[in-house]
Structure 1
Amino acid sequence: MALAAVRDVVRDVVAELAPEELPLVDGLAAYDDSIVVRKLRRSGPRREPLGFSWGEVVGLMTPVVWLVLDQVAERLADAAVERAARKARGLRRWLRRGSRAAAATIPPLTEDQLAALRQDILDQLKRELEERTAEQIADAIVRRLARGADPGPAGPEGPSPAS
């Protein structure tokens, strides 16, 4: 199973939970992942090239999902770098430099890893959101990551499994 690009997971989760935000996702997709994350982490009023102000973004699901998934990808990349560095100490600096050069991705995860990730996401989101909303987001992210890089539809609209 291939890596899942953070931007693809964001798009799928937003399409499932807040399809009215897809124009925002599409607008952000024009930028490099590191630029998107930097823009979304900013606070306060700023001139935005996307045609909307930060105040209009507050309360939307897209920034929450993108930032959570970016943190997940970063943690997984750091863990992979640490494992590789233990095996090849001299490559540590080179591996760190290359870990964020490409688009942020999330590798395929086991069921146990997905369960632990769900709990981590819930813990993080519950600080900022209502519990029900946090659970919806965490569940949608885990469902999407369980599919890996598969771009096909999920949920009720997706193909039904053969009986």
Structure 2
Amino acid sequence: MALVAVRDVVRDVVAELAPEELPLVDGLAVYDDDSVVRRLRRAKPRREPLGFGWGEVVGLLTPVVWLVLDQVAERFADAAVAGTTRKARGLLRRFRRGSRPPATIPSLTEDQLAELRRDLLDQMQQPESEEWTAEQVVDVIIRRLARGADPDPAASPVGPSPAS
């Protein structure tokens, strides 16, 4: 089963919808996934080495996409843990308490992608801006996840079919 890193999907989605935010993605990429999620989830502004305040981050696409995809990765990781034996589950829990490996999302079937699209649209009620809508963001996420670990957009199995 091919896995795709959350940070790779975030980068591709941001590159397509808000390329001006790529320096933010690159700045966050120096941190492990847990640190990035903690930084993006903070409710109160703090002194950040990113060079700008929390107010500037709130209106951006990067935090929305990263946090939503991290939740998706956690859901798949939890499902994988639930499917293991009792003994292995205990080992995995102990492992997860420490620093976890990079967040990943497995290859998904068309049905899983359709279900995920519905879930994401429900979650992303208000990430809209003048540049994008929630539906556009979700469509780009789903299209990127459909490619799986293949970074080549031309290889995407989802999208408009070629004219006959």
Q: TM-score of the superposition, structure 2-length normalised?
A: 0.86
The residue aligned with 1:110 is: 109
The residue aligned with 2:86 is: 89
Cα gap change, 1:62/1:154 in structure 2, threshold over 3 Å: closer, same or farther?
Answer: farther
Q: Please give the per-residue CA displacement for 1:83-133, whole angstroms capped at 9, x wherever unaligned.
A: 11xxx211211123335610000000000000000000000001x334971
The residue aligned with 1:60 is: 60
Cα gap change, 1:115/1:67 in structure 2, threshold over 3 Å: closer, same or farther?
Answer: same
Q: Distance in 1 between matches of 2:114 and 2:38?
A: 28
The residue aligned with 1:158 is: none
The residue aligned with 1:18 is: 18
The residue aligned with 2:3 is: 3
Q: Please give the per-residue CA displacement for 1:14-51, whole angstroms capped at 9, x wherever unaligned.
A: 00111110000000001000000000000222100111
Identity %: 74
Q: Distance in 2 between matches of 1:80 and 1:119?
A: 21
Cα gap change, 1:25/1:130 in structure 2, threshold over 3 Å: closer, same or farther?
Answer: closer
1:44 partner SS: coil
Cα gap change, 1:10/1:55 in structure 2, threshold over 3 Å: closer, same or farther?
Answer: same
Decide which moves more: 4-13 or 44-53.
44-53
1:114 aligned partner, one-letter code? L
Unaligned runs of 5+ in 1: 156-160
1:48 partner SS: coil
The residue aligned with 1:124 is: 123
RMSD of equivalent CA atoms: 2.1
2:149 partner SS: coil
Report the number of matched residues: 153
Q: TM-score of the superposition, structure 1-length normalised?
A: 0.87
Q: Distance in 1 between matches of 2:15 and 2:5?
A: 15
Runs of at least 4 residues off by over 6 Å: none
